[in-house]
Structure 1
Amino acid sequence: MDIQNTNIFANTAASTQQKQSLTDQSSFIGKNDFFKILSAQLKYQDPMSGGDNSEYIAQMSQFAMIEKLENLADQLNTLYNLNSTNHAMSMIGKQVDLETLETGVVSGILERVEISQQGIKYVVNGETYAYPKVLSVGSPVQVIE
């Protein structure tokens, strides 16, 4: 019986790199930075002119938006991790073709998936492969004697 291949995520490593660049905290102002700026403005404001109330309200609403966006980014990151884990586990017991930088293309039955802080690793033919590119997934080949 032939393997019926199904194209899936093109490259787990590329997806991981995209996720890391999207969630890189150093590329935007966080709530701590915002509070530092706000406290510096209050500390060094002109005592003769006072502060503009509408400006402070606008800054507080910006702070609320920043906090909500940080929460949304955390939730999306959690969803991405759950989806990646679910996807990897759905391939257990299936015939897979993986491509890695070290070994090239590897074919075999996906025996298990190892999940850690570093990411998802696939075990095929008793060997563990970290961050492989999944080329195809199909039903296991059945040998008829």
Structure 2
Amino acid sequence: MIVPPQMTIGSLNQITPEADTKQNSDLDMEQFLMIISKAMSMPSLDGGSGGGGGNETDYIGQMVQFGMLNQMQELTETMQTTMLMTQQQQALSMVGKEVTLKTDADQLVSGAVEKVRFDNGYATIQVNGAQYSLNSIIEVGA
């Protein structure tokens, strides 16, 4: 995070009162706007009209970039959740179906999917009493 030279670490602590519950890299739009407004309200060292070492267009550009970054992070989280849910549904639909799997030792295993397990949201299937990840499946039968 770029801190204008006029701002001190102490003033940043006042802006982020919940700093002990968030990581240092977590900064929401409201906190970002508070930093920008504090920087713009400070007198410029060169006597120009913009405060805090940058002009207003610099701050607007930074705000747009910050907003886009937040939206990209939210989109990534949504896509990860959707991917996990899709994988879970696929695994559940395979219960009772015949599958052929390729093990880590490049051996083929065939059998019916006995059950599905979830570990941290990721689905695994049980065939012939052993657990396999979904990416081990090479063929699904009726």
Q: Normalising by structure 2, what TM-score?
A: 0.62
- Alpha-carbon displacement from aligned partner over 1:25-49 (angstroms, at most 9, x marks no partner): xxxxx665xx6xx88xx5xx95234
1:63 aligns with 2:66: yes
Contact 1:100/1:133, CA 8 A, preserved across alignment: yes
1:108 aligns with 2:111: yes
Contact 1:95/1:137, CA 8 A, preserved across alignment: yes
| Match among 59, 64, 75 for residue 72 of structure 1 | 75
* Aligned match of 1:117: 120
What's the Cα RMSD here? 3.1
State the AA in 2 paired with 1:125: N
Q: Distance in 2 between matches of 1:89 and 1:131?
A: 11
Structure 1 runs of 4+ with >3 Å offset: none
Q: Distance in 1 between matches of 2:135 and 2:103?
A: 5
For structure 2, list consecutive stretches of 5 or more residues without a partner in the other structure: 1-24
Tell me the SS of whatever aligns to 1:81: helix
| Match among 93, 97, 109 for residue 94 of structure 1 | 97
Contact 2:114/2:127, CA 8 A, preserved across alignment: yes
Task: Give the aligned length.
Answer: 107
Q: Which of 1 and 2 has higher RCO (CA within 8 Å, sep 6+)?
A: 1
Higher Cα Rg, which structure: 2
Q: Normalising by structure 1, what TM-score?
A: 0.61
